[in-house]
Structure 1
Amino acid sequence: MSLADLRAKVAEFVAARHWQSFHNPKNLAMSIAIEAAELQEHFQWLTNEESLQYVRTLEQKLDVADELADILIYCLSFANSTDINVSEAVLRKLARNEHRFPRPEKS
């Protein structure tokens, strides 16, 4: 499924529930942050190695995937509500980051 298809699916979900009035930049930005915090909770106090092991367990991986999906759903809804082309935004940002963080020179 393409990014455009996912955006349309999210828009359909929101419209079917008449949530458009709640899906404004402020509320969606807050929701993205809240869901990101819920993702962080899974790894709070774990070492780096423990966090890698955590996502190797199917049940925990599915829980983490659900949190990631929540974040992405809110991000797509944010893009829908602000008419931001996510593909263009990501490509533009990657191009800027190429200049900010050049590849290391080969030694």
Structure 2
Amino acid sequence: MGEEKEDAKEGAVNISLKDLSKKLEEFASARDWDKYHSPRNLLLAMVGEVGELSEIFQWRGEVEKGLPNWEESEKEHLGEELSDVLLYLIRLSDICGIDLTDAASRKLVKNAIKYPPPPKFL
């Protein structure tokens, strides 16, 4: 698909949001799920996935960046739940006619104006 590139250092595939969107559209169409993918249903499904993501952290207290004390299986589970949230968000944005890449880029610009970095003193 279009912009997929393999990162030789990590062996991971870099894929664009547009590529993920296309794959999600094909996945839903192949299963005749389009009729269920209303904005409301997708939002509720995403909220459910956010709940599952939250459960992973629920009783852990604060955790260190990089999750150094986590088992690989725990990190894999976290990755799956993060992916579920991302995929529903992409699908929801598509169904609503929102270009998520463009919207996020514009929001970063607005946030930079709203929250400028503190002045540096010598």
- What is the identity percentage for the equivalent residue pairs of Structure 1 and Structure 2? 36
Question: In structure 1, which of residues 92, 102, 105 is the aligned counterpart of residue 116 of structure 2?
Answer: 102
Question: In structure 2, which of residues 38, 44, 59 is the aligned counterpart of residue 45 of structure 1?
Answer: 59
By how many angstroms is 1:45 displaced? Answer: 1.9
| Counterpart Cα distance in 2 of 1:43 and 1:53 | 14
**What amino acid does structure 2 have at the position aligned with 1:90?**
A
Q: Which residue of 2 aligns with 1:26?
A: 40
| Counterpart Cα distance in 2 of 1:74 and 1:49 | 26
Structure-2-length-normalised TM-score: 0.80
Q: Which residue of 1 aligns with 2:11?
A: none
Q: Which residue of 1 aligns with 2:92?
A: 78
* More helix per residue: 1
Rg (Cα) greater in structure: 2
By how many angstroms is 1:73 displaced? Answer: 1.0
| Counterpart Cα distance in 2 of 1:90 and 1:104 | 23
Gaps of 5+ in 2: 1-14
For structure 1, which segment, 40-49 or 57-66, has the greater mean C-alpha deviation from structure 2 after superposition? 40-49
1:12 is the counterpart of 2:26:
yes
How many residue pairs match? The answer is 106
Higher RCO, 1 vs 2 (CA within 8 Å, ≥6 residues apart):
1
For structure 1, which segment, 58-67 or 73-82, has the greater mean C-alpha deviation from structure 2 after superposition? 73-82
Gaps of 5+ in 1: none
By how many angstroms is 1:53 displaced? Answer: 4.1
Which structure 1 residue ranges, 4+ long, deviate > 4 Å from structure 2?
Answer: none
* More strand per residue: 2
| Counterpart Cα distance in 2 of 1:100 and 1:35 | 30
Structure-1-length-normalised TM-score: 0.90
Q: Which residue of 1 aligns with 2:8?
A: none
